[in-house]
Structure formats: C-alpha cells, structure tokens
Structure 1
Amino acid sequence: MKKQFLILTLAIFSVSAFAYSCGDKKYCKQMSSCSEVVYYLKQCGITRLDRDKDGIPCEKICGKNGQNMPKAKSSKKKGKKAGKNK
C-alpha cells in the first residue's frame, strides 16, 4: 500500500513540476499562454517565437509591449532606498 501511495505521489509531483516540456510546438499559434511562449523560447531555444528580436515573443499572446509576460524573479536584496543627502 505504501509503495502505491509513493508512486502516485511521485507521479502527481512530476506532472505539476513540469508544466511545459520541449515538444512539438514551434509556432505562436500553437501556444496558449505567454508563460508557455517564454518557456519554449528560453528553455527549448525556439528563437522564431521572437522574430523581430525585440525581447517580446509572440506579440499577439504576450502583448505588443510585453504586458502579459511573466514577471522576472528579482534577486535584489531589499534595503533602504537611496535618497538625497541633506
């Protein structure tokens, strides 16, 4: 019983951990979200998704100004804002 539970748990986590995978999708019309487009561009190397090389892939999905693009995770440390010294 424990073995079946372990296998089921691993199967669920493996599916949820990898929402996308490099597969048959090669064109914007095959993508359903901007995060999927960004995954295929960065992880799978499908450079045709950003034909004009402006950093915004599949403008119809991600928006002309990239407003639908997933937010990049910042590695900056939170600290005090630099202000004017008086």
Structure 2
Amino acid sequence: MLKEKLTDFIATQFLDGERDGLELDTPLFELNIVDSAAIFDLVDFLKAQTNLNIGMQDIHPGNFATIAAMVSLCDSLQHNQTQGATA
C-alpha cells in the first residue's frame, strides 16, 4: 500500500530508518523532516511507485506537507488520469 511504502521511504531517506512518530499527519516541513529540495526525491519515488504523471503544477509544499497529503495527491491524479484516459 502506498502509505506504508511512502512512510518507509521517508524514514529511510530522511530519518535514518526511524519510523517512531512518523504518522500520516506528521507535518514534514514544520518538523524539518523534509525540505523543498526533498520534494523532488518524493516526486521521483511517487512516480516510480504509482506510474502517475506528476506535473510541475502539482509540485508545491501543500501537496507534500504530510504523508496523507501525498497519498491524496496520488489518489486525485489517479482519478483525473483515469478519467482523461476514458474520455
């Protein structure tokens, strides 16, 4: 599931493997877990995991503020890209 994979990725890449306290709503920027440069690592990871097209208009801190926000972004993109493919 994407939530677990994303949690593992963030823990491994940014927290030396420590998952304690890393929840769906943990504020990643406010706690300095990730910074603006790390968004692109997260984008690459999400693209690899989901095969979604994440456009530049989607890459802003609000969509990457929490794990829940990233999952929501992917869900929304999945819905939109599926709708576009059937239209």
TM-score (norm 2): 0.29
Larger Rg, first or second structure (1 or 2): 1
TM-score (norm 1): 0.29
The structure with the largest helix share of the pair is 2
